[in-house]
Amino acid sequence: MRALAITSVKNEAAFLLEWLAHHRTVGFTDFLVFSNDCSDGTAEMLDRLAQLGWLTHQPNPGPWNAGPQWDALKAADRHPLKASADWIAVLDVDEFVTIKTGDGTLGALISACAPATAIAMTWRLFGNCGKVAFEDAPITEQFTRAAPVGMLWPWRASMFKTLFANDGTYGKLGVHRPRSPNSARLKSALWVDGSGRKLPPLYQRQKLFTPLGSDPYALVQLNHYALGAMESYIVKCDRGRANREAGAFDLSYWVERNFCDDQDTSAARYAGAAGALRAELMADPELAALHARAVAWRMERFAQLMLEEPYRAVFGRLLLTPPSRPLAPDAMQRMVTLGLRANDAKNETKLAKQEDS
């Protein structure tokens, strides 16, 4: 089975080897990695990894029509690796597929979910837990506290990325789910959540969230380390977002993801095998030097940003802000109701415009 992971990166060299080793252990056989405007040695690291046969590196310089990630996905649609893949997932470098069934591999997950053709891997938001300084150590070991299961709000707690069979049902890649469905093939498409439960037919064409309030993590979850250490978050603010050409990270992004309520060490099952692969990579003198360069760059970049008042102000607010508190059930339900009401109003307005045209 050929399983392809597609990602788009900018200034992620300090974290790249851990992410690759983890996902090779999970069972991804191929990696298609796009890079843009890197100044920390990411592009050079990807070139070396390509020479060693670990991945395929595709430079993705701007300008972009729809942001670097969307332009990368359009290029990935045309790439031979996509055509030869049996299963595909579009992932970010702060997302770690964590499988809880069988031997923890993609094969075990696909077997447990059979005959599913698309598996919605719901985010598990991992908080910062007060960690200030960037540390050159595995992210999955540093951050082990996460949002509670079944949290209704914020809505992104139920967002997912999709592991899907590359069987011709969908014509285009998307950030969270495949797009451009083939109507004739949709009859045989079966979507399930991360607990293997069948999702409603609407998921074949749309939806970015698993049903609210359920536990979608019994078989697989997508560990989302969106924050990291406070120093790393400041560097992330400086970098900008991957799915658009510009977009600010601020305190609202932090507060809506910084949940530290439940201890979750599910990724630890990969520590031994992934650690051995990471050590193998670091045994390459060129990769080791590039990794060290990226670590030094990250520390220096943070120091430079602290000379600028806007970034220094954000850092100060991070120090002031405790972990986020999940809303009480009635408050969460109120926010969900308000969101659904706003969505209904939006759809009514859209329908009215269609009827008038």
0.85 surpassed by pTM:
yes
The total number of structural domains in the chain stands at: 1
Q: Which one has a higher pLDDT value, 343 or 18?
A: 18
Give the pLDDT confidence of 4-24 residue by residue, as tens digits: 999 999 999 999 999 999 999
Q: In this predicted model, which residue has the larger pLDDT, 339 or 162?
A: 162
Output DSSP code: residue 222. E
Q: Is residue 271 part of a domain?
A: yes
Q: Is residue 354 part of a domain?
A: no
Q: Does the pLDDT of residue 246 top 90, yes or no?
A: no
β-strand 145-146 against 170-172: which pairing, if any? unpaired
- Residue 71 belongs to domain spanning: 3-347
> Given this model, what pLDDT does residue 67 score?
85
Query: 120 pairs with which residues across the strands?
Result: 162
Token readout for 307 is 């000379």
pLDDT tier at 339, thresholds 50, 70, 90: confident
What secondary structure letter does DSSP report for 85?
-
Residue pair 288/282 in contact by the 8 Å Cβ criterion: yes
Per the CB < 8 A criterion, the answer to whether 13 and 136 are in contact is no
Instruction: Tell me if 10 is assigned to some domain.
Output: yes
For residue 87, being part of any structural domain is answered with yes
pLDDT category at 212 given cuts 50, 70, 90 is: confident
Q: Is residue 356 part of a domain?
A: no
353 inside domain: no
DSSP string, 104-160: SSHHHHHHHHTT-SEEEEEEEEB--TT--S--SS-HHHH--EEPPTT--SSGGGGBE
Give percent of the chain with pLDDT exceeding 90. 85
* Residue 145: pLDDT over 70: yes
* Residue 355 placed within a domain: no
Is residue 352 in a domain?
no
Tens digits of residue pLDDT in 50-81: 999 999 999 998 888 888 999 999 999 999 99
